[in-house]
Amino acid sequence: MNPAQYTVVVAGMGKRGTHHAEAFQKNGRFKLVGLCDIDATRLEAAAKKFGVSETSADAAALARKTHPDVFCFCTLPDLRLPLIRAGVEAGAKLIAYEKPTALSTNEALEMMQLTRAAGVKTVVSHQHRYGEHYKKVKEIIASGAIGRVHTVYGTATGWMMHMFTHLIDYTRWYNDYAEAEWVVGQAHGKSKFSDNHPSPDYIAGLIQYSNGVRGIVESGEGAPDVPEVDYWWRKCRIGAQGTEGFAEVLTGGGWRAITCDGVASGPGSMDYEHDMGPYVREMADWLDDDKKIHPCNGESAYKDLETAMAICRSVVQRGKVKLPLGPGEPELEALKRVLPD
C-alpha cells in the first residue's frame, strides 16, 4: 500500500527551493517535514511561511533525522554529489533536484552509480515542458503535420550551465528521445567561468541522433536574439523542422508553426506556478507506480548532461566525440584551459 502522503525535505530555500516547497505544499499527496538552508534568516522565513518546525543548516543530518520519502535539493550547481549521497543514505525513495545535473561527467557518473545501486528514483527540474506552448509544439510534431522531422534545434541567450540542458532536454523530447551518437562543438569566451553557473560565454553543438535527425543547440552570448520575447532569460527558441514545415516554442512568447495545414500560432509563457504543479504531481504518480516513470527522470537528465559535456569535450579535442561518455578530464576545467583569453 502506498502512503496517503509522501513526506518531503527541501534543502536550499532560495528561489527554486521556495517554488518546490510551494508546489509540494499545495499537493495533498505530499507533506513537508523539514526545511534546510545555511542562511539562517532565509531558513527562518521559510519555516514560518510553510509552517514547518523541523529545520537545520545541515541537509544530511536533517534527512537522517526526518527520514523523508522525497529528498529535494535546490542548491547552486556546486552542490550535487554530496546531497545525492545524503538523500541515498537517509533512505529517500525519490531525490528531486535542480538542473544542471552536475558540473562534470565524472560527478554525474558517480551520482548515477549511487542512486542506481540504491534503487532510488531521481527527478531533475526540466519542468518547462509542462508549459502549454511547449506541449502544443510536441503535439504538432507528433501528429506528423510537419512531415518527417530532420532537424531539432534550441537556442538560449542565457549561458551554458543555466540553459544548455534545458535546450537539450526539450529537443530530445521533440525527437522522441532518440539516442545521441556523436557531437561536434565550438565555444568562446571565459568571462562566465567565474559565475556560480560556470560556463564558456557561448557554446554551440551539432548532435547526430540515432534516427538520423540532426540537433543544433546554442547557448550564451552570441546565440540568436528572440526579439519577440522581452524577458531576457526567456529568449529561448526550441523546435523541429520537418519535410513539410516547422513548429517551435519561444519560452517567453508562445508557439508558432507552418504545417501541411497552414500557418498557426498561439500564446504561452514559462510560468513556474503553472509548471510546478504537474511536475510534483508526477513524482507522486511515479512513487505510487513504478511504471509511471517521471518525464523528467534522472536517467534522461543524465543524457542531457552527457550530451552537453560531449559538446564541451569536442571543443577541447577539436573533433567528433562519440557517446556514451566515460570518465575524463572535468569538462569545464578543460574548456578553461583551451579557450583563448
Ligand X SMILES: NC(=O)c1ccc[n+]([C@@H]2O[C@H](COP(=O)([O-])OP(=O)(O)OC[C@H]3O[C@@H](n4cnc5c(N)ncnc54)[C@H](O)[C@@H]3O)[C@@H](O)[C@H]2O)c1
Q: Which residues bind ligand X (CB under 6 A)?
A: 11-17, 36-39, 42, 59, 74-77, 79, 98-99, 125, 127, 162, 197
Q: Would you say 73 and 98 are in contact if contact means Cβ atoms under 8 Å apart?
A: yes
C-beta of 140 vs 167, nearer to ligand X:
167
For residue 332, which phi and psi values (nearest 5 degrees)? -70, -35
Q: Would you say 81 and 113 are in contact if contact means Cβ atoms under 8 Å apart?
A: no
Please report how close the Cβ of residue 201 comes to ligand X at its closest, in angstroms.
Answer: 17
Please report how close the Cβ of residue 321 comes to ligand X at its closest, in angstroms.
Answer: 24
Please report how close the Cβ of residue 128 comes to ligand X at its closest, in angstroms.
Answer: 6
Please report how close the Cβ of residue 37 comes to ligand X at its closest, in angstroms.
Answer: 4
Please report how close the Cβ of residue 245 comes to ligand X at its closest, in angstroms.
Answer: 29
Cα four-point dihedral sign 272, 299, 295, 63: negative
**Which residue from 184, 219, 163, 180 is spatially nearest to 316, judged by alpha carbons?**
184
C-beta of 129 vs 257, nearer to ligand X:
129
C-beta of 198 vs 245, nearer to ligand X:
198
Q: Would you say 132 and 255 are in contact if contact means Cβ atoms under 8 Å apart?
A: no
C-beta of 199 vs 259, nearer to ligand X:
199
The burial of 322, by beta-carbon neighbours within 10 Å (0-12 exposed, 13-18 middle, 19 or more buried), is given as: exposed
Please report how close the Cβ of residue 144 comes to ligand X at its closest, in angstroms.
Answer: 30
C-beta of 98 vs 306, nearer to ligand X:
98
C-beta of 209 vs 279, nearer to ligand X:
279
CA distance 209 to 217: 13
For residue 257, give the 3-state DSSP assignment: strand
Report how far Cα 17 is from the mean position of its chain's Cα atoms.
Answer: 15
DSSP per-residue string spanning 73-123:
E---TT-SHHHHHHHHHTT-SEEEEPSS--SSHHHHHHHHHHHHHHT-EEE
Report how far Cα 340 is from the mean position of its chain's Cα atoms.
Answer: 29
Nearest residue (beta carbon) to ligand X: 14
C-beta of 56 vs 105, nearer to ligand X:
56
Please report how close the Cβ of residue 46 comes to ligand X at its closest, in angstroms.
Answer: 9
